[in-house]
Amino acid sequence: MPGDFHEIQRRLFFILHRGLIEARNLALTDRRQQIHDLADTLEFLPSELNNWKADSLETIRQSLEAYQQKYRGECYEYSKYLGQDEPPTSF
C-alpha cells in the first residue's frame, strides 16, 4: 500500500493514463458498452483526489475491482497499481 499522498496521486494518474489508452483501444474494436463502463469507473478519480478522505482509496479500489470483475480477461488490471505493482517512472 502506498504511504504518502504524492505516491497515491502518481499511482492514480498512471491509472487514468492507462484508462485512456484502454478506451482508445476499445474504440477501435467498437466496444461501446465497455468504454462506457470504463468511463464510469474512472470519471470520479479526479474528484476523489481533490477531496481526499480516509475512505477514498478503498472506494477507488472497489470501483476498479468491480470493472475488472465484469470484464475479466478483457481489460487492463488497474487495482494492482494501487499498491501491488509500481507504476513506471514516466508515462
pTM: 0.91
Answer whether 74's CB lies under 8 Å from 67's CB.
no
Query: Which of 1-5, 46-50, 87-91 shows the lowest per-residue confidence on average (mean pLDDT)?
Result: 1-5
- Of the chain, the end-to-end C-alpha distance in Å amounts to 21
Judge residue 76's burial from the number of C-beta atoms within 10 Å of its C-beta, 0-12 exposed, 13-18 middle, 19 or more buried: middle
> What's the pLDDT score for residue 23?
98
What is the rounded average pLDDT of the residues 67-90? Answer: 94
Question: Domain extents for the chain?
Answer: 5-82
In which band, very low, low, confident or very high, does the pLDDT at 34 lie, cut at 50, 70 and 90?
Answer: very high
The model's pLDDT over 13-23, given as tens digits with 9 standing for 90+, comes to 999 999 999 99
